[in-house]
Every structure is written in structure tokens, then in C-alpha cells.
Amino acid sequence: MAQLEQFTTPVDAVVSRMRALDAALPERDGIAVFNRVYLAVTLEVGRRLTRGAFPDPRAAATLDVRFAERYLAAVDAVTDDRRPPACWRPLFQLRRHPGVRPLQFALAGINAHIGHDLALAVVDTCRALGCEPADLEDEFDRVGDLLASLEERIREDLMPGPDLLQIADPLTHLLGSWSLERARDATWSAARALWALRRFEDVAEEFTARLDSAVGFAGRMLLTPLPD
């Protein structure tokens, strides 16, 4: 247990940051909506770490913290009047738009964080631990499975009533255009590509910028304002 405690402490630190954001932001704010979702994910990762559910708790904790730090850095950038990564800009720009539903905010945040941040967090973790992406695949999959289970709960909790979800409803169309499973698969490929390109800085930077832009474009679509 003492060995696990040293790994859970960094997770506790990012949880504290998320709790502070939750207390400070209005409930309907788009960042607050995503933050509540992500806080639930991070708390569950912490619980599983203490139960020994990860084969390599050090790798799992490092990946979780590096992953969370990407999101928190985007929040800090906006707070300091700096531009966040392109993947996060739609959510920050539309976070108070009355025509965007809470479920859209949640999925747009997940899109930015999974589609862009997770690939970079895998590379960050490999550098920190001196390992290869293949060494993190099990931890990556377990965190991904947790996100998938929570996505189902998010859709249930934030989905409007069934009377609003006719097949031609714009929200139904938007929700069907994005898949967490596809995003996870693409992210793993992106992480492996970035690791292979790590000695070619110019190419890696271009790849990262294009990934950031593409994920931001998808986020913009997810946040299309809808009529009441």
C-alpha cells in the first residue's frame, strides 16, 4: 500500500485542481460541464490505482497525470489570456452559448482531450519513464475502457428526454457523428507516430499541429448551436 501511495499523490493533486474549478465555475458553463465529467474519470482512476487494478501502477498514474495536465494547461492558458491549443478553442469560445446543450459541451471536451491530449500524454509518459508506447498499451486500454463506460453514463445523464430525440433531430445527428471508440483508435496511432517521429522535430511539430487543428474542427462541429 505504501508503494501505491507514492503513485496516487500526483493524481490527488490534479483532482484538487479539478475540484477547485468545479467550485469556481457556474454549473452551466461548458468548461464546468466537461470538468465534472473528467473529475469523475480521474477519481475512478485513483480508486483503481489504490485497489491495484493496474498491472503497472506507476505507468498508469504517470499517464493519468500527464493526461490531466494537458487539460489544466489549456485552462491556465485561457485564464492568463493566452491561446489554448486549437482542439480546446471551440469549447472555450462557446462555453456560455445558450444554444449549446450540456451533452455537446461534455463530448466536445472529451473529443479535445482524447483526440489530441492523450496522444501527447502517451509521448510525455514514455519520455518520463524511458519506455516505448507498446509498454503503455495495457494502461492506455484500461483508461480507455473506463472512459467508454463513463461516456455511456454521460449520454444517459445529459441526454434530453426521448421526445426530443426524433431521428431527424439535429442533436441526434451530431451525436451520431462522433465515436469515442474511433477517437481512441486514432489517438493510439497518433501516439505511435509521434513517438516514431520524435527525432525529427520539424515533422513531429507539423504532425502535432495538424492533429490539433483536425480535432478542433471536429469539436467545432460538435458544438453547433441548436434551436430549443
pLDDT tens digits for range 33-49: 999 999 988 999 999 88
For the chain, what percent of residues have pLDDT higher than 70?
Answer: 85
- CB of 92 within 8 A of CB of 206? no
Query: What's the average model confidence in pLDDT over 55-79?
Result: 95
Q: Is 82 left (phi over 0), alpha (psi -120 to 50) or beta?
A: beta
pLDDT at 179 over 90: no
DSSP structure class, residue 136: G
Gyration radius (Cα) of the chain, Å? 17
pLDDT tens digits for range 69-117: 999 999 999 999 999 999 999 999 999 999 999 989 999 999 999 999 9
**Cell numbers 513517438 correspond to what residue?**
195
Reference 42, options 146, 120, 182; nearest CA is 146
Confidence bin at 216 (pLDDT 50/70/90): very high
